């Protein structure tokens, strides 16, 4: 109702409604949901130009974006139905509120009623239906088509109401809706790749590929107190070191996704605020479990026993992150993470013993594949050094990331390191990485008990049951899983102290730039 | 166009022993301070490549977590890198890594290049045409681009780098050798040998090859310095040799990210590359001067 009044005022300027507006305003001041601030608080002055250093973007169609910079730019121009907060909870965005049926299969969303696209068109339920139909269309072949395969139907049940019906109950459905790709497009957009036509807080001004993309504040944004900034320049740099130097010399105001070493060089730099966000991003060391030599789980156990996690954590991460326990369910998921679970201490003799039991009394030669990005080459080199003591001789093969992931080498090799990004809920990793036959099951792991527990955790509406299932999954993976996860790394960045109110999210590309404002404002 | 041996024969009037020739050569090489410096540097690095493992205080890949990122000190002369490896030991052991790879590659390229140069220059005809046009097409590509293309095809390993050096430098050596052969071929002593019924291989090896040797030695030294640079460049680009090899180029690449924090891990391998390349170049320059002085004489 609140938004109906707003529309009326805005469109027809009916002055006699002012007393009612005042009443609504008072009601709203007492409302429990501050994120739903809808009052037309008068046009506040928008000031300041934020210059963000990003790696160049390639993809601009929201259905196919994948890198942090692509997602950051797209989510400035478009909006999600529901968003993720820096604390990993669900927050309303274009969906004002929602109800869930008792069996967990029907979700009804009420939409914001005064949101408009940058061309002035009103945002309605039809746009939601069109966008999600596109995201799950096998012909479009977006990476989300599997994620949304559980949706039976999407209907516009009113101009501002959408109903999703699911085939199976899915306790994480709201998280699925907040997926990086699920940005709302205008219905029947002919070429989403060239469009940049969203409801988002910023409008496109200019884009010159490989150089920069400039956006300005959307004066008609449905959240009237946002954005605070007048303009954002996304400036593209290929090189992380160059980004940091540009920040140091005042040519840009914000950098993200930088290495611990570069981050350390920024400590104590006047005029800069360091940013650190705990995440569930990790580097995975995995051994193919479906063929020799990895089909003997004792080999993976020997690798784990030969590893000194604390030394890796200190050397490679320099303390920015958390120790891992070999399962993708990290400490960030505090309600699901098994705190009491013990990973083995380094024990070279025990590792040698296991190796000889597995048939390698003289040690074993392996090739360790790793992409050339992040801390992965360093991790490989440290593992090589640590494992050598136990007679595990590793030849490191560093490959360009685009080649390693591009031609599916990462799914084929026996022993490899893979970087996995942070997700707001753990089920994603189980379903895509460890369930038998999953698309990205790079270790080719197949375990009936695991599959049963993963399916239970992913469908039950009983939270206690889910916690118990996740606990059992973690114990199972430590006992006979094909993976070793030595650490979860923090995301690091820095922002100029001329700006305030920026909160970096665990997935830095999802950080909300509409809240950022000049520090003196 | 006479060779070193023929010149000394005629100018001294006696047939000198190999020792007299060598001492004369060394006198000339060390007579100029610049050439002497270059030769000394080259020999020093070759010596390090041989005895490096005996004098290196640590293993090249030994990770000492407690010592990570330390500045140069009595314990770690060149400091330690981001993973706690001793930079001095890595630079020292890297000498063998880089010189053996570059040296062996150059040697192969010189042998293969000389073979093709001799045959094409002496025989001419369709074999010459086909071989030289093939080599021309290889030379049309910049060396580094050709190297990257080859490594993309044969995969990353030490042997691939060796193949790359041979493929990149064989055409250059072959061209140089061929040009000398073409100049020597019409001369009297070659014709005399030919008329005297010598076999073709004997003429090539006994009559023509000695005339090629002076130019070839200069060319080999030049190729050697380029090969060192190529191996380091490929390491820097992250292709070819794989971590944790103490390849100087790879060390520079790895240390680049930490340049502000631990500059010594970047400086010393970069210094080693520069010094050895300059050294070999100065030596090659000295050789060239001696050879051309001989020619003038």
Q: Closest Cα of chain A to B90: distance in Å?
A: 14
Nearest CA in chain A to B246: A381
What is the secondary structure of A441-496 as a DSSP string? -TT----HHHHHHHHHHHH-S-HHHHHHHHHHHHHHHHHH-SEE--EEEEEEEEEE
- Kindly give the pairing relationship between strand A364-371 and strand A415-420: parallel
Answer for the pair B83, B246: CB distance below 8 angstroms, yes or no.
no
Distance CA A516, CA A519 (A): 9
Residues A343, A346, A347, A353, CA torsion sign: positive
What is the secondary structure of B191-246 as a DSSP string? HHHHHTT--HHHIIIIIIHHHHHHHHHHHHHHHHHHHHHHHHHHHHTT-SS-TT--
Are B257 and A262 in contact (CB < 8 Å)?
A: yes
- Chain B positions contacting chain A at CB under 8 Å are 61-63, 65, 68, 82-84, 156, 238, 242-244, 254, 256-261
Answer for the pair B127, B249: CB distance below 8 angstroms, yes or no.
no
Nearest CA in chain B to A239: B257
Residues B184, B186, B190, B194, CA torsion sign: positive
Are A384 and B61 in contact (CB < 8 Å)?
A: yes
- A494 forms beta bridges with A255, A274
* pLDDT (0 to 100) of residue A36: 42
Are B257 and A265 in contact (CB < 8 Å)?
A: no
Residue from B60, B61, B169 nearest B106 by CA: B169
Distance CA B170, CA B106 (A): 9
Answer for the pair B42, B276: CB distance below 8 angstroms, yes or no.
yes
- CB neighbours of residue A309 within 10 Å: 21
Residues A133, A137, A142, A146, CA torsion sign: positive
Distance CA A56, CA A235 (A): 8
Chain B residues inside the 8 Å CB shell of A400: 238
Among the partner-chain residues A316, A385, A400, the one whose CB lies closest to the CB of B61 is: A385
Chain A residues inside the 8 Å CB shell of B61: 381, 384-385
Answer for the pair A235, A51: CB distance below 8 angstroms, yes or no.
yes
Distance CA A250, CA A248 (A): 6
Are B84 and A315 in contact (CB < 8 Å)?
A: yes
Query: If contacts are CB pairs under 8 Å, which of residues 221-260 in chain A contact chain B?
Result: 240-241, 259
Distance CA B48, CA B93 (A): 8
* pLDDT (0 to 100) of residue B19: 84
Residues B34, B295, B208, B124, CA torsion sign: positive
Per-residue pLDDT tens, chain B, 297 aa: give them.
Answer: 444 444 444 445 555 578 888 888 888 889 899 999 999 999 999 999 999 899 999 998 899 888 888 999 999 999 999 899 999 999 999 999 899 999 999 999 999 999 999 999 999 899 999 999 999 999 999 989 999 999 888 888 888 999 999 999 999 999 999 999 999 988 888 888 888 888 888 888 888 898 899 899 999 999 999 999 999 999 998 888 888 999 999 999 989 878 878 899 999 999 999 999 999 999 999 998 888 877 665
Q: Does A400 touch chain B (CB under 8 A)?
A: yes
- CB neighbours of residue A317 within 10 Å: 22
Residue from A329, A11, A60, A67 nearest A183 by CA: A60
Residue from A422, A416, A385 nearest A401 by CA: A416
Among the partner-chain residues A261, A316, A380, the one whose CB lies closest to the CB of B258 is: A261
Q: Which residues of B136-175 are buried (b: 16+ CB within 10 A; e: fewer)?
A: eeebeeebeebbbebbeeeebeeebbbbbbbbbbbbbbbb
Among the partner-chain residues B65, B156, B259, the one whose CB lies closest to the CB of A311 is: B65
How far the first Cα of chain B sits from its last, in Å, is 10
Answer for the pair A2, A24: CB distance below 8 angstroms, yes or no.
yes
CA distances from A171 to A103, A108, A466, A471 (A): 10, 15, 10, 17
- B208 forms beta bridges with none
Q: Closest Cα of chain A to B158: distance in Å?
A: 12
Chain A residues inside the 8 Å CB shell of B82: 261, 315, 378
Among the partner-chain residues B65, B243, B261, the one whose CB lies closest to the CB of A314 is: B65
Residue A149 DSSP class = T
Are A397 and B156 in contact (CB < 8 Å)?
A: yes
Chain A residues inside the 8 Å CB shell of B244: 381, 384-385, 396
Q: Closest Cα of chain B to A276: distance in Å?
A: 19
Are A259 and B83 in contact (CB < 8 Å)?
A: no
Distance CA B213, CA B221 (A): 12
Chain A residues inside the 8 Å CB shell of B63: 315, 381-382, 385-386
Write down the H helix ranges in B124-208: 125-139, 143-154, 158-184, 188-195, 200-202
Distance CA B118, CA B124 (A): 10
Helices B18-31 and B33-55: crossing angle in degrees, nearest 10, is 100
pTM as predicted: 0.80
CA distances from B58 to A109, A363, B95, B280 (A): 65, 24, 15, 28
Are B82 and A398 in contact (CB < 8 Å)?
A: no
Chain B residues inside the 8 Å CB shell of A372: 238
* pLDDT (0 to 100) of residue A34: 40
Q: Does A389 touch chain B (CB under 8 A)?
A: no
Are B63 and A385 in contact (CB < 8 Å)?
A: yes
Helix, strand, coil percentages in chain A from 3-state DSSP, rounded to 5: 30, 25, 45
Chain B residues inside the 8 Å CB shell of A380: 243
Q: Does A385 touch chain B (CB under 8 A)?
A: yes
Are A377 and B243 in contact (CB < 8 Å)?
A: yes
| Chain A with chain B: Cβ pairs closer than 8 A | 56
Q: Is A231 helix (H, G, I), strand (E, B) or coil?
A: strand
CA distances from A300 to A285, A349, A418, A480, B41 (A): 10, 15, 16, 8, 48
Q: Does A373 touch chain B (CB under 8 A)?
A: no
CA distances from A374 to A24, A321, A391, A485 (A): 51, 14, 27, 15
> What does pLDDT average to in each consecutive run of 10 residues of chain A (521 residues)?
38 47 46 42 75 91 89 95 90 95 95 94 96 93 86 95 94 92 92 88 94 95 92 92 92 92 87 94 95 93 94 91 93 90 89 95 95 89 95 92 81 94 90 90 95 94 94 94 94 95 91 92 62
Are A381 and B61 in contact (CB < 8 Å)?
A: yes
Q: Closest Cα of chain B to A1: distance in Å?
A: 56
Q: Is the ipTM here above 0.90? A: no
Are B261 and A265 in contact (CB < 8 Å)?
A: yes
Are B259 and A241 in contact (CB < 8 Å)?
A: yes
Q: Closest Cα of chain B to A388: distance in Å?
A: 11
Q: Does A361 touch chain B (CB under 8 A)?
A: no
Query: If contacts are CB pairs under 8 Å, which of residues 258-317 in chain A contact chain B?
Result: 259, 261-262, 264-265, 311, 314-316
Q: Phi/psi of residue A391, each to 5°?
A: 85, 15
Are A378 and B68 in contact (CB < 8 Å)?
A: no
Q: Which two tokens stand for residue A81?
A: 């139905």
What is the secondary structure of A254-313 as a DSSP string? EE-S--HHHHHHHTT-TTEEEEEEEEEEEEEEEE-SSSTTTTSHHHHHHHHHT--HHHHI
């Amino acid at each position: 109702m609140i938004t109906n009044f707003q529309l009326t005022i805005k469109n027809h300027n009916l002055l006699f409604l002012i007393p009612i507006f005042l009443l609504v305003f008072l009601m709203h001041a007492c409302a429990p949901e501050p994120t739903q601030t809808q009052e037309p608080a008068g046009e506040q002055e928008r000031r300041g130009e934020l210059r963000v250093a990003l790696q160049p973007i390639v993809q601009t169609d929201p259905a196919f974006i994948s890198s942090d910079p692509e997602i950051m730019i797209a989510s400035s121009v478009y909006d999600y139905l529901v968003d993720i907060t820096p604390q990993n909870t669900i927050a309303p965005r274009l969906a004002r509120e929602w109800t869930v049926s008792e069996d967990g299969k029907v979700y009804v969303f009420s939409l914001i009623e005064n949101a408009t696209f940058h061309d002035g068109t009103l945002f309605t339920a039809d746009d939601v239906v069109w966008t999600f139909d596109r995201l799950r269309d096998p012909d479009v072949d977006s990476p989300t088509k599997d994620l949304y395969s559980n949706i039976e139907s999407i209907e516009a049940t009113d101009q501002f109401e959408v109903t999703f019906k699911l085939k199976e109950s899915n306790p994480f459905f709201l998280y699925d809706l907040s997926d990086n790709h699920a940005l709302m497009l205008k219905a029947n957009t002919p070429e989403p790749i060239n469009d940049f036509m969203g409801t988002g807080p910023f409008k496109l001004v200019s884009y010159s590929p490989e150089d920069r993309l400039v956006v300005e504040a959307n004066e008609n944004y449905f959240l009237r107190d946002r954005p605070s900034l007048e303009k954002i320049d996304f400036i593209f740099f290929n090189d992380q070191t160059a980004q940091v130097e540009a920040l140091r010399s005042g040519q840009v105001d914000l950098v993200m996704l930088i290495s611990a070493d570069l981050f350390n060089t920024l400590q104590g730099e006047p005029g800069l605020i360091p940013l650190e966000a705990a995440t569930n991003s990790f580097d995975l060391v995995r051994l193919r479990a479906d063929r020799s030599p990895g089909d003997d789980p004792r080999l993976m156990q020997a690798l784990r026993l030969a590893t000194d996690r604390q030394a890796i954590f200190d050397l490679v991460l320099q303390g920015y992150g958390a120790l891992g326990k070999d399962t993708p369910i990290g400490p960030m998921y505090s309600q699901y993470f098994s705190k009491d679970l013990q990973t083995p201490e380094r024990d070279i003799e025990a590792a040698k013993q296991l190796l000889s039991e597995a048939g390698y009394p003289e040690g074993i030669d392996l090739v360790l594949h790793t992409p050339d990005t992040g801390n992965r080459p360093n991790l490989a080199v440290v593992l090589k050094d640590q494992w050598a003591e136990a007679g595990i001789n590793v030849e490191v093969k560093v490959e360009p990331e685009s080649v390693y992931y591009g031609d599916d080498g990462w799914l084929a090799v026996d022993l490899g390191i893979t970087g996995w990004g942070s997700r707001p809920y753990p089920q994603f990793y189980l379903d895509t990485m460890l369930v038998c036959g999953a698309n990205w099951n790079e270790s080719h792991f197949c375990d009936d008990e695991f599959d049963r527990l993963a399916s239970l955790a992913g469908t039950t509406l009983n939270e206690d049951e889910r916690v118990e299932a996740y606990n059992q999954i973690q114990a199972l993976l430590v006992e006979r899983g094909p993976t070793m996860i030595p650490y979860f790394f923090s995301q690091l960045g820095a922002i100029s102290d001329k700006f305030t109110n920026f909160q970096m999210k665990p997935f830095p590309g999802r950080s909300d730039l509409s809240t950022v404002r000049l520090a003196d404002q | 166009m006479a060779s070193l041996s023929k010149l000394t024969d005629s100018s001294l009037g006696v047939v000198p022993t190999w020792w007299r020739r060598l001492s004369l050569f060394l006198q000339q090489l060390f007579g100029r301070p610049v050439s002497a410096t270059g030769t000394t540097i080259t020999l020093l690095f070759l010596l390090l490549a041989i005895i490096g493992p005996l004098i290196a205080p640590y293993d090249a890949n030994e990770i000492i977590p407690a010592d990570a990122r330390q500045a140069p000190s009595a314990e770690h002369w060149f400091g330690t890198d981001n993973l706690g490896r001793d930079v001095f030991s890595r630079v020292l052991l890297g000498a063998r890594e880089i010189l053996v790879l570059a040296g062996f590659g150059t040697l192969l390229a010189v042998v293969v290049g000389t073979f093709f140069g001799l045959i094409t220059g002496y025989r001419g005809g369709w074999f010459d045409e086909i071989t030289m046009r093939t080599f021309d097409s290889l030379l049309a590509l910049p060396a580094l681009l050709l190297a990257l293309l080859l490594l993309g095809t044969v995969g990353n390993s030490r042997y691939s780098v060796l193949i790359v050096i041979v493929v990149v430098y064989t055409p250059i050596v072959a061209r140089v050798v061929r040009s000398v052969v073409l100049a020597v071929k019409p001369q009297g002593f070659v014709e005399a040998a030919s008329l005297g019924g010598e076999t073709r291989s004997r003429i090539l090896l006994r009559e023509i090859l000695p005339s090629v040797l002076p130019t070839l030695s200069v060319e080999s030294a030049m190729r050697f310095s380029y090969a060192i640079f190529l191996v380091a460049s490929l390491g820097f680009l992250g292709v070819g040799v794989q971590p944790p090899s103490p390849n100087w180029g790879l060390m520079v690449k790895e240390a680049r990210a930490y340049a502000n924090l631990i500059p010594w891990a970047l400086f010393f391998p970069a210094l080693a590359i520069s010094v050895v390349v300059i050294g070999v170049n100065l030596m090659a320059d000295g050789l060239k001067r001696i050879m051309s002085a001989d020619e003038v004489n």
